[in-house]
């Protein structure tokens, strides 16, 4: 598969056309950002780790019947994906209070939620990804009601699949972000699944194994990402 025209560069990935118009090439970067890009750094091998972790998660979900944009991993940093018309909505799935929901609602971090919470944000860096609800989504024609029904059902299914899968690895799935897109008239999962987009806590110690280590200057970011990969690959 030949890498062709450069299309887009985000905070953590670059996107390229390929010699097949239906497929794109994603290159995972080592860049780390937080707080809408105000905090930046380069973390050696982060892109390699997130590429491999996303491959593991996408492959697992595909086997369980969740349709994704994943096709195959091409190299340490490159992944081949289906070209999507991205729906500009970020979906946040929350099982335990952490991060912004604790600040907004005044609830302690670590409190288990009695019911899984779905939140939606407008995917717009310039506006700092503001929270939106279904009224905004339909008023702005970001997605149709039938598409949102698929998005919500799929997000909850992913949560139901990943929680026990990660529990077996000694990892608590606190919360995570998903993005979706249209492919041949169907809404499917896109973006990535990695410690950049999920909160992972060690089930025994509560140690953070995700991007919060970078956000909060805790150190050991790459070591935490490597630990997640080690567990998912069957390490002991």
- Looking at the fold, whether 73 and 93 belong to one and the same domain comes out as no
Q: Are 66 and 109 members of one domain? A: no
Same structural domain for residues 102 and 138? yes
Residues 85-143 have pLDDT tens digits of: 999 999 999 999 999 999 999 999 999 999 999 999 999 989 999 999 999 999 999 99
Predicted TM-score of the model (pTM): 0.96
Query: Per-residue pLDDT for 2 more than 90?
Result: no
In a domain, 233, yes or no: no
State the Cα angle at 50 between 174 and 7, rounded to 5°.
120
Q: How many domains does the chain have?
A: 2
72/139 same-domain check: no
> Do 33 and 12 touch, CB atoms closer than 8 A?
yes
- 3-class DSSP state of 114: strand
Are 51 and 118 in the same domain? no
Domain finish residue from 57, 82, 107: 82
Same domain for 104 and 138, yes or no, is: yes
Q: Are 213 and 224 in contact (CB under 8 A)?
A: yes
Same domain, 89 and 190: yes
How big is the CA angle at 162 (ends 23 and 135), to the nearest 5 degrees? 75
190 and 89, same domain (yes or no): yes
231 within a domain of the structure (yes/no): no
**Do residues 153 and 53 both lie within one domain?**
no
| Number of Cβ within a 10 Å radius of residue 123 | 17
In a domain, 235, yes or no: no
Q: Answer whether residue 215 is part of any domain.
A: yes
Q: How does pLDDT run across 172-209, given as a tens digit for each residue?
A: 999 999 999 999 999 999 999 999 999 999 999 999 99
**Residue 184: which domain range?**
85-220
Q: Is the pLDDT score of 236 beyond 50?
A: no
């Amino acid at each position: 598969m030949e890498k062709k025209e450069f299309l887009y560069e985000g905070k953590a990935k670059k996107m390229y056309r390929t010699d097949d118009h239906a497929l794109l090439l994603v290159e995972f970067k080592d860049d780390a950002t937080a707080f809408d890009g105000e905090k930046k750094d380069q973390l050696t091998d982060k892109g390699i780790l997130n590429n491999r972790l996303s491959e593991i998660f996408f492959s697992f979900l595909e086997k369980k019947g969740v349709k994704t944009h994943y096709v195959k991993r091409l190299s340490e940093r490159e992944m081949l994906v289906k070209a999507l018309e991205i729906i500009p909505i970020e979906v946040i799935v929350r099982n335990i209070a952490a991060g912004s929901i604790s600040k907004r609602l005044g609830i302690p971090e670590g409190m288990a939620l009695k019911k899984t919470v779905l939140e939606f944000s407008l995917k717009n860096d310039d506006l700092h990804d503001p929270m939106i609800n279904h009224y905004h989504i339909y008023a702005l024609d970001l997605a149709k009601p039938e598409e949102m029904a698929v998005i919500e059902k799929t997000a909850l299914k992913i949560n139901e699949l990943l929680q026990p899968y990660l529990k077996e690895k000694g990892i608590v799935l606190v919360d995570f972000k998903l993005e979706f897109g249209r492919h041949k008239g169907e809404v499917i999962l896109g973006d990535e699944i990695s410690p950049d987009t999920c909160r992972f806590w060690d089930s025994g110690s509560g140690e953070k194994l995700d991007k919060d280590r970078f956000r909060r200057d805790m150190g050991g970011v790459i070591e935490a990402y490597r630990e997640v990969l080690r567990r998912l690959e069957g390490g002991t």
